[in-house]
Amino acid sequence: MMGALTERYELGPIRPPSEANSLLIRVTRNCSWNRCRFCHVYKGEKFQLRSVEEIKQDIRTARVIQDKIKELARKSGYGGNLREAAAMLCGNLPNDAYRNVALWLYAGGKSAFLQDANTLIMKTGELVEVIKFLKETFPSISRITSYARSKTAAKKSVAELVELREAGLSRLHIGLESGYDPVLQFMDKGVTAADHITGGSNVVESGISLSEYVILGMGGRGMWREHAIATARVLSEINPDFIRVRTMTINQRMPLHNDVESGKFIRQTDEEIAAEEKLMIENLECHSYFVSDHIINLLSEVEGKLPEDKEKMLAVISRFQALSPEERDNFKVGRRFGIYSRLDDLNDASRRDEVNRVMERVGLNGDGNIDEMLYSLMERYV
């Protein structure tokens, strides 16, 4: 039966965590900029636009796969219960394209994500054609999202972005990272704070929902304060729908690793990053949802709607800061080993014992080696 399931289409390497259940359609290959020092995802890969026909062919193939999975569900006796059938089939499918379609069906078949790093770089007319074709081919899709760069969004007119929204583009995910020009320059981000504001504001004005990603710790010890304040100012000007934070995590595939080795970039500890996050939130004057939806963030509970949840979010950080140094270390290790997810978990005696055992096993005895070990643990997540 599985022998006949040979179709496949092209998939890119990443999508945001919030798009884990989306149908993935690769509309460009790799990153049109590809120079950011903190990013390894597309390094060594050449940027390429794909033709509209090539993308449409992938969409048609995804449709064939969907129909075959539905047929399998019917023949396996699951009938109308597609969710159950997709779950049953997921671990037993021939390739990533099949698994993506099955997962997407399992989640209800409503969202699609257009890969790779900067979809807006396509000609507006061509992207409109792709989006319309995707919706015609999959009438169940009501939400289409993608990544974009601020610089490219700044070059699109609001009228073009409105055209994309009317075609069906619902949300753009933009890596703002920092609103402080010296940090952006050091990281070779290829945009300025002004570009971020123009690009982000264009998207907001068009009515496309906007998620801006910020990297906590991107200023390092040298520029953390300026990074926090300037990023808050830029975000406040844009007023995106979502602000999503990530914590700076450096691996050996990133050019930034050399700057750490040479001492040009000094990483912050979790305590220093908590102080930075607090300063940024204090300075935010916008009406965005603040979201911490990545395992690499220490304080996942720092989430809420601004401005009404601001005090509640700041209180989480203050609570962490008020812990004793031993409790903070215990929480940091527990969080990065996946034992804790929130500060309240410190009150769970069995989890706490487990963390203590882990600390003993890996030799974390309070001699100041915790931060180095945490940096290498976090590398697993990027």
Q: Which stretch binds ligand SF4 (CB under 6 A): 34-42, 66-74, 195-203, 372-380?
A: 34-42
Nearest distance in Å: CB 17, ligand SF4? 16
- Under rule CB under 6 A, residue 296 binds ligand SF4: no
Out of 15, 50, 149, 244, the only residue in the binding site for ligand SF4 (CB under 6 A) is 149
Residue type, 208: I
Q: Is 107 a residue that touches ligand SF4 (CB under 6 A)?
A: no
Nearest distance, CB of residue 147 and ligand SF4, angstroms: 7
* Separation between Cα atoms, residue 154 and residue 149, nearest integer Å: 9
- Indicate whether 186 belongs to the interface with ligand SF4 (CB under 6 A): no
49 near ligand SF4, judged by CB under 6 A: no
| Touching ligand SF4, residues 266-295 (CB under 6 A) | none
Give the pair of three-digit tokens for residue 14.
Answer: 């990443």
**Binding of ligand SF4 by 199 (CB under 6 A):** no
Sole window of 15-23, 30-38, 262-270, 344-352 interacting with ligand SF4 (rule: CB under 6 A): 30-38
> Looking at beta carbons only, is 45 or 237 nearer to ligand SF4?
45
The least CB distance from residue 77 to ligand SF4, in Å, is: 44
Omega of the bond leading into 116 within 30 degrees of 0 (cis): yes
> Using the rule CB under 6 A, which residue among 109, 175, 200, 220 binds ligand SF4?
175
192 scored as a contact of ligand SF4 (CB under 6 A): no
Chosen residue from 18, 28, 34, 297 binding ligand SF4 by CB under 6 A: 34
Q: Does residue 97 touch ligand SF4 according to CB under 6 A?
A: no
Return the residues of window 109-128 that contact ligand SF4 according to CB under 6 A: 117
CB 248 within 8 A of CB 217: yes
Query: Least distance in Å: CB of 237 to ligand SF4?
Result: 21
Q: Which is nearer to ligand SF4, 35 or 287 (CB)?
A: 35
Which residue, 31 or 203, is less far from ligand SF4 as judged by CB? 31
Question: Minimum Å distance from CB 175 to ligand SF4?
Answer: 5
Count of residues that bind ligand SF4 according to CB under 6 A:
11
Q: Look at the block and give the residue holding tokens 């945001």.
A: 16
Residues 6+ apart with CB under 8 A from 210: 171, 172, 174, 200, 203, 204, 238, 240, 241, 242
- Choose, by CB under 6 A, the member of 23, 31, 176, 346 that binds ligand SF4: 31
Shortest Å, Cβ 134 to ligand SF4:
22
**What sign has the CA pseudo-torsion 284, 288, 289, 293?**
negative
Q: Which residues bind ligand SF4 (CB under 6 A)?
A: 31, 33-36, 39, 41-42, 117, 149, 175
